[in-house]
A and B are shown apart, each in its own frame.
Chain A
Amino acid sequence: TQLLEQSPQFLSIQEGENLTVYCNSSSVFSSLQWYRQEPGEGPVLLVTVVTGGEVKKLKRLTFQFGDARKDSSLHITAAQPGDTGLYLCAGGTDSWGKFQFGAGTQVVVTP
């Protein structure tokens, strides 16, 4: 089983601060996706990265896929209360529909 470890498990910061969430594995993934999930809702896809070393930016969010396709990071600049949520990384495998999810990082941004 390919395992994905996310760190930290919990992050509480003030509005305006920066934060980084990490997703690591000893296995190689064909892709890496990041989701944000809010209470009572399903995860919402933020980004998909497929190439080792790839960097994608989505407004204040920057996503990076490691060169060896074993790790990824999500960086949020100038966090806002609307960024609060559970951030999940998911590794794509060679099996249809089967993504390996990390346990998630709970981010809380207070005004």
Chain B
Amino acid sequence: KAGVTQTPRYLIKTRGQQVTLSCSPISGHRSVSWYQQTPGQGLQFLFEYFSETQRNKGNFPGRFSGRQFSNSRSEMNVSTLELGDSALYLCASSGGLAGFPGSYEQYFGPGTRLTVT
């Protein structure tokens, strides 16, 4: 079974620009979560989508947004990029259905390394 794929793997953008990152989950998985990973803050939760609906959102400004398509593929968008947005953006897929929210298993993609100059 193919794993989680993320495109592009590397991206360099300039302050003020916007960027769109893509994530294709494992076949059959309906939940996609996005995380930002930086050396200083570690992994921080951005948002989670299940069957095209955002079920949860982390504490990030409105410049960060996402969506999920009917085939479960997900995109996240960052508008008006700032230097502090430089990070590894990870998406994780899961079946999304479990006994309780904290128990289901997430499978991460390799991430998109975003550098803002």
Contacts and interface: CB of A to CB of B under 8 A. Distances in A.
Interface of A: 29-31, 33, 35, 40-45, 48, 50, 88, 90-104
A99 B96 contact: no
Most buried by B among A29, A35, A41, A42: A42
B48 interface: yes
B107 to A, nearest CB: 7
B56 A48 contact: no
Given A88-B43, A92-B101, A97 B56 contact: yes
A95 B101 contact: yes
Contacts of B31: 96-97
Given A42-B4, A97-B33, A48 B45 contact: no
Most buried by A among B44, B101, B110: B101
B55 A97 contact: yes
B100 to A, nearest CB: 6
Given A97-B56, A98-B48, A102-B42, A30 B103 contact: yes
Contacts of B103: 30-31, 48, 50, 92
Most buried by B among A29, A40, A92, A96: A96
Contacts of A43: 43, 90, 108
Contact of A45 (B49, B100, B101, B107): B107
B106 interface: yes
Interface in B28-62: 31, 33, 35, 42-45, 47-50, 55-56, 58
Given A48-B103, A98-B56, A103 B90 contact: no
